[in-house]
Amino acid sequence: MAQKKAVVLVSGGLDSTTVLAIARSEGYACYSMSFDYGQRHSSELLAAERTAKALGAVEHKVIKLDLRSIGGSALTDDAIDVPEEETGGIPVTYVPARNTVFLSIALGWAEVLGCDDIFIGVNAVDFSGYPDCRPEYIAAYEAMANLATRAGAEGNKLHIRTPLIHLSKAEIVQLGMALGVDYSLTVSCYQANDQGEACGKCDSCRLRKQGFVQAGIADPTRYQHA
């Protein structure tokens, strides 16, 4: 019997790397996918390649998109500063429609590969408040995916798998460690430098730091400043 396949969205960060480890532990042949979408730095893409290799992805694909051409986010417009203090509401690091765009391309690859499962590391507990990380969004997207594809129309139900969606960052770290994830390979920072060193100040860095502290695990992140 052929090994079941899954497309796994990987950003090079803590959450998506944990999801890749989970998919592998569940017996999937993992096809990982990253996006060069005009984000502030390429360090996360290099991290995604490292983690995909370390966790045994069958194939790692990098899709080039130009979300910088529409801007609207601190991650795709250099004129908008990345906040270094907590802000109210949906932060300016939210990239308009990003997960919808990413999932749509992953959905196409899943059809080509003939697999029924797409894994994504969205989280609705310790997160920045992005609307496309909520359970109701994922449920709506999965319903749409089954209406929009040949696979769905032919009765091959597609699943958007979100194993981290209800976990705290500390629980994610503990789970990843149990699965053998090397978090020193990952980059979560919104404004990491060319060496992949984190700023330690942005929202993503704060959540990541907090996760390691609460998990009682030494933080392997390399920071720009001691």
pLDDT digits (tens, 9 = 90+) for 30-70: 999 999 999 999 999 999 999 999 999 999 999 999 999 99
Q: Cβ of 64: how many Cβ atoms within 10 Å? A: 8
Residue ranges of E strands in the chain: 5-9, 29-36, 59-64, 117-119, 159-161
Nearest partner of 23 among 208, 163, 169, judged by Cα: 163
| Confidence label for 98 from pLDDT (cuts 50, 70 and 90) | very high
pLDDT of 64-90, one tens digit each? Answer: 999 999 999 999 999 999 999 888 889
| Predicted pLDDT at 173 | 97
pLDDT of 127-172, one tens digit each? Answer: 778 999 999 999 999 999 999 999 999 999 999 999 999 999 999 9
Cα–Cα distance between 177 and 212 in angstroms, integer? 11
pLDDT of 173-207, one tens digit each? Answer: 999 999 999 999 999 999 999 999 999 999 999 99
Residues 50 and 212: beta-carbon distance below 8 Å: no
**Model-wide pTM > 0.85:** yes
| Predicted pLDDT at 226 | 53
Give the CA distances from residue 132 to residues 100, 140, 183, in Å, rounded to whole numbers and listed in that order.
Answer: 8, 11, 25
